[in-house]
Amino acid sequence: MKISEGKLVSLTYDLTVEGELMEKATKERPLTFLFGMGMMLEAFEKNLEAKQTGDKFAFTLTPTEAYGERDDQQVAELSKKIFEIDGKFDDETIVEGATLPMMTSDGHRLMGSVLEILPEVVVMDFNHPLAGETLHFEGEVIDVHEATAEEIAAITQQGGCDCESKQDKNGCDCGCQR
């Protein structure tokens, strides 16, 4: 069976950026997603379309095809007051390098990375961690089949990702749109 819209796809891959392994999906923990449902980057899916179980792949996505270029306007200085718990700055959670779930004033959820902690503000970067990077994927299609109703329910509840990530200990990037 070939990869096409609505098929359940499982694959292994290594994601490298500038030769450094950023993420890995293995046979024991493959990336599994519904093809053509907007769970993955469009260019990621285009490179897999019509492949079938056993096919190997290797392709590169430019920043434009992946997560875009870095945008300096996505870096913001936020008052330390919004990170207070019971009137005290949360210096255990809010540390340089931490990636935190945040919410905009209109209720939109997004992830932000702490770049710097200054006396009055926390400098946060809301760019995707792989923005501005060229992504190289290499792997193998390990399964393609018609999805059952149960599989569709399970995969949509977990957001389409099922992989191990060196970059994000709380989830995975694995080409998923966030």
38 and 80 belong to one structural domain: no
What's the CA gap between 23 and 15, in Å, rounded? Answer: 5
84 and 97 belong to one structural domain: yes
Residue-wise pLDDT tens digits, 148-170: 989 888 887 765 444 433 333 33
Within a domain: residue 39? yes
The answer to whether residues 126 and 75 touch, using CB atoms and an 8 Å cutoff, is: yes
pLDDT band at 125 (very low <50, low <70, confident <90, very high): very high
What's the CA gap between 160 and 132, in Å, rounded? Answer: 23
Which tokens sit at 139?
């792997």
The answer to whether residues 10 and 51 touch, using CB atoms and an 8 Å cutoff, is: no
27 and 49 belong to one structural domain: yes
**What total of structural domains would you count in the chain?**
2
59 and 137 belong to one structural domain: yes
50 and 99 belong to one structural domain: no
> Domain range holding 94?
72-125
Within a domain: residue 120? yes
The answer to whether residues 65 and 136 touch, using CB atoms and an 8 Å cutoff, is: no
CATH code, domain with 58:
3.10.50.40
The per-residue pLDDT for 158 is: 62
What's the CA gap between 139 and 134, in Å, rounded? Answer: 17
Residue-wise pLDDT tens digits, 26-84: 999 999 999 998 899 999 999 999 999 999 999 999 999 999 999 999 999 999 999 99
Within a domain: residue 176? no
Residues 6+ apart with CB under 8 A from 28: none
Within a domain: residue 170? no
13 and 61 belong to one structural domain: yes
The answer to whether residues 57 and 49 touch, using CB atoms and an 8 Å cutoff, is: no
What's the CA gap between 31 and 172, in Å, rounded? Answer: 10
pLDDT band at 104 (very low <50, low <70, confident <90, very high): confident
Which tokens sit at 69?
């270029």
Alpha helices in the chain, H assignment, sequence order: 42-46, 149-157
Identify the sign of the CA torsion 37, 39, 42, 46: negative
Which tokens sit at 2?
């070939």
